[in-house]
């Protein structure tokens, strides 16, 4: 008898989750705010509603007879969805509201790391008023990163020397965050790190973590790493599950940092069960934590779940029950994921324009397509203001996976654009050379 699983969320990440569950024979039910055609096709039943409407989501889960839930986005976790599902006897892949503060409050995360001596922390302080922040900014010897304390959809962070030129602009943005309450009531100021960013995602059962293949995301909208920050334009992973500029020792260090963070939460009485995402900067002194997220990354979920032939459902059950078992093998292949986004994405995205997706031709090209923030109406797919769909290529090398991805992208038409340089040799070589310079 198949297990009934509720998947919350309607993006590319959630489509990848649904496909991984279906490969294991799960009976999937869906809650999402937009009609994602890929998820809708795989779901036994679905409900279109706000993912943070906790009572209605829980009611739908109970009506469906769901035995397990997988929560994709962070906002429902902040709203306490996991807690309420567990109260109704539904196991949840997604931390409690208290444990999710590892993502939903940057203030909490940094202070937890400092209190418990979790390695990988950096110089920081948190502020609720401008004048005390002004003193810190003016006295800080290096460049700073300004982060709203709470959730901003990955778009609230600004970096001195990139987005902000000098201390006056730093203070102007601190004032804007505080005055407009962007991401909550406070702001976190952190030292700017120099190095290469990477993502380590892990399965967590409240006691331990099990790492997945490393991924590098690309936040900047345009080729050459320029333009506004976005939710992520695409990402790649390597066949050895490391990255071209990073080895086993660095991965082990990052995984140990995440393990120590999970242990710290357990000691605080809020065990963490679900997917934990560590965004790291590989610096001259090793991996440092940029931030934690309380769920799969998007697009990084599409990279790693495409490599998981089976076993995801069992891992989800194990996380919800607090008993991770032996590792599940990911294919020893490289991946490249590129997002198709609406024209103007990053500044003024154009919603409501049609996209023609030839799924059969994409599959024939050897690629996989995951629908994201689109709407399907009368059999046609339309853009919203966010990312439209991800195309993933899988092959024995990053360069070959990139070619497969591009072959798939050729069959997507519309008023859309793609950051084509992701996964290409020139960009990879630049990453390796940059890390060589950083490490001397």
The full set of domain ranges for the chain reads 4-94, 129-185, 196-429
Q: What is the mean pLDDT of each run of 10 residues along the chain (440 residues)?
A: 94 98 98 96 97 98 98 97 98 98 95 97 92 92 91 82 90 90 87 97 96 97 91 97 97 98 98 98 97 97 96 96 92 98 94 96 98 93 96 98 98 97 97 96
Residue 33: the pLDDT is 94
Residue 293: the pLDDT is 96
Look at the domain 196-429 and name its fold.
D-amino Acid Aminotransferase; Chain A, domain 1 (3.30.470)
- Say if domain 4-94 classifies as CATH 3.90.25.10: no
Strands 286-293 and 273-283: antiparallel
Residue 179: the pLDDT is 87
- The sign of the CA dihedral 144, 148, 151, 154 is negative
Six-digit token pair at 34?
Answer: 């937009």
The model's pTM: 0.95
**Could you give the CA distance from residue 27 to residue 88 in angstroms, rounded to a whole number?**
19
CA angle 74, 76, 79 (to 5 degrees): 115
HSE-up of residue 287 (Cα within 13 Å, Cβ side):
26
Nearest to 279 by CA among 297, 295, 291: 291
**Could you give the CA distance from residue 76 to residue 80 in angstroms, rounded to a whole number?**
6
Residue 56: the pLDDT is 98
Task: Measure the CA dihedral 259/265/268/272, to 10°.
Answer: -120
Burial class (CB in 10 A: 0-12, 13-18, 19+), 106: buried
Burial class (CB in 10 A: 0-12, 13-18, 19+), 242: middle
Other beta carbons within 10 angstroms of residue 134's beta carbon come to 16
Contact 213, 237 (CB under 8 A): yes
């Amino acid at each position: 008898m198949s297990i009934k699983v509720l998947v919350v969320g309607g993006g590319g990440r959630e489509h990848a989750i649904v496909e991984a569950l279906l490969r294991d024979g799960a009976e999937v039910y869906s809650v999402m705010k937009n009609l994602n055609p890929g998820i809708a096709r795989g779901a036994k039943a679905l409900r279109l509603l706000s993912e943070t409407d906790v009572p209605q989501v829980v009611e739908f889960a109970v009506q469906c007879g769901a035995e397990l839930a997988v929560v994709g986005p962070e906002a429902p976790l902040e709203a306490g969805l996991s807690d309420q599902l567990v109260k109704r006897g539904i196991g949840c892949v997604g931390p409690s509201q208290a444990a999710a503060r590892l993502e939903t409050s940057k203030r909490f995360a940094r202070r937890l790391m400092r209190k418990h001596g979790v390695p990988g922390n950096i110089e920081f302080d948190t502020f609720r008023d401008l004048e005390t922040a002004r003193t810190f900014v003016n006295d800080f010897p290096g460049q700073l990163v300004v982060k709203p304390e709470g959730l901003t959809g990955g778009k609230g962070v600004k970096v001195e020397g990139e987005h902000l030129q000098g201390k006056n602009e730093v203070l102007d943005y601190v004032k804007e965050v505080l005055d407009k309450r962007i991401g909550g009531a406070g702001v976190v100021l952190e030292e700017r790190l120099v190095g290469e960013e990477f993502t380590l995602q892990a399965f967590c059962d409240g006691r331990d973590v099990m790492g997945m293949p490393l991924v590098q995301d690309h936040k900047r909208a345009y080729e050459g790493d320029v333009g506004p920050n976005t939710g992520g334009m695409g990402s790649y992973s390597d066949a050895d599950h490391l990255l071209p500029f990073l080895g086993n020792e660095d991965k082990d260090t990052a995984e140990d940092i995440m393990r120590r963070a999970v242990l710290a939460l357990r000691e605080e009485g809020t065990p963490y069960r679900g997917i934990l995402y560590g965004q790291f900067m590989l610096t001259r002194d090793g991996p440092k934590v940029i931030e934690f997220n309380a769920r799969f990354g998007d697009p990084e979920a599409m990279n790693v779940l495409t490599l998981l032939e089976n076993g995801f459902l069992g891992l989800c059950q194990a996380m919800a029950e607090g008993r991770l078992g032996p590792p599940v093998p990911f294919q020893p292949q490289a991946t490249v994921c590129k997002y198709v986004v609406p024209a103007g994405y990053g500044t003024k995205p154009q919603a409501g324009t049609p996209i023609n997706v030839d799924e059969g031709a994409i599959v024939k090209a050897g690629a996989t397509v995951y629908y994201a923030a689109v709407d399907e109406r009368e059999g046609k797919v339309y853009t919203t203001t966010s990312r439209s769909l991800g195309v993933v290529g899988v092959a024995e090398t990053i360069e070959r996976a990139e070619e497969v991805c591009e072959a798939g992208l050729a069959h997507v038409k519309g008023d859309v654009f793609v950051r084509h340089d992701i996964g290409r040799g020139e960009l990879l070589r630049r990453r390796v050379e940059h890390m060589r310079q950083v490490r001397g």
